[in-house]
Chains A and B, each alone.
Chain A
Amino acid sequence: MNTNQPGHEDEPLRALLKEWKATPDLPPGFQDRVWRRIERAEAQPIISVPLSTVWRNWIAGVLPRPALATACVAVFLAIGATFGWAQARHETERVSSDLSARYVHSVDPYQAPR
């Protein structure tokens, strides 16, 4: 039966633990072995994966996911539409400018190019 009051039963143990300082000795040659391992690791060539492999893996493994596939097609569509719209706008402005110059020239042959 434990007669100590709750919270005081391990007081001696605590005091003992406070006084105790562990000073473990490293095994002989420990530092040397660590540095040798570091040197070996640094000396090993970095394994580089070719970009084409990454690309192939991405196409084969990641792209077929439905959400990504949909997003990919949507991005392509958006790019195509944006370029088409921009090109159309540019073409419209060019034709508009040409025709306005043509109208001016038809009513004013003396009109100097501005």
Chain B
Amino acid sequence: MRRGITILALGVVGAVLAYYCFYVLGTAKPRAWLGNQQPELAWLKHEFNLSDSQFARISQLHEGYLPQCKERCRHIEELNNKLMKAIGATTQITPGIEKLLADRARMRADCQAEMLKHFFEVSRTMPAEQGKRYLAWVQAQTCLHEQTMNHTQAGESNHHE
């Protein structure tokens, strides 16, 4: 009886050890990404098979892009606030509101253009095939990919972007 129990216990301990070993080995990559200062860039390096030099260049581009992006976001936020105030103060469209809408649209267009410029720069830094894949991926994931208009479900009177 004791021998049988020992064998069973050995099996259970072995199972736990095997689980742990495979889990630790299998999660080595994600743990390395998360241990990085910029985990999302570490993931990008893995996902698009970047060399160290390509990764360094892309990190540099990323670091350069972020402050400008934040500044544009801040500007858009200001315009949003102004627009909300202007809309709240009247019951009809005014030249001021029209200007704010145009400014905000222009600012958003600038923002998207800069974003696309950044994506092109990043994709050019990657190997050609990976660059293509990256561009297709960011286009699908970001606001560059507008949602399709749909008049049929919401009815003709409601317009949704």
Contacts and interface: CB of A to CB of B under 8 A. Distances in A.
Given A59-B4, A59-B5, A81-B22, A76 B14 contact: yes
Contacts, number: 131
B42 to A, nearest CB: 8
Contacts of A62: 4
Nearest to A96: B43
Contact of B65 (A92, A102, A107): A107
A21 interface: no
Contacts of A111: 141-143
A78 to B, nearest CB: 8
A112 B108 CA distance: 14
Contact of B14 (A56, A77, A89): A77
B39 interface: yes
Contact of B8 (A63, A92, A108): A63
Given A89-B26, A95-B33, A76 B15 contact: yes
Contacts of B1: 56, 59-60
Given A73-B11, A106-B40, A88 B143 contact: no
Interface of B: 1, 3-5, 7-8, 10-12, 14-27, 29-30, 33-34, 39-44, 47, 62, 65-66, 69, 73, 108, 111, 115, 118-119, 138, 141-144
10 contacts: A56-B1, A58-B4, A59-B4, A62-B4, A73-B7, A80-B17, A84-B19, A106-B66, A107-B119, A108-B144
Interface of A: 56, 58-64, 69, 72-73, 75-81, 83-85, 87-89, 91-92, 95-96, 99-100, 102-104, 106-112, 114
Given A73-B14, A102-B39, A103-B41, 15 more contacts: A59-B4, A63-B8, A73-B10, A76-B15, A77-B18, A80-B17, A81-B18, A87-B23, A88-B22, A92-B27, A103-B40, A107-B65, A108-B115, A110-B143, A111-B142
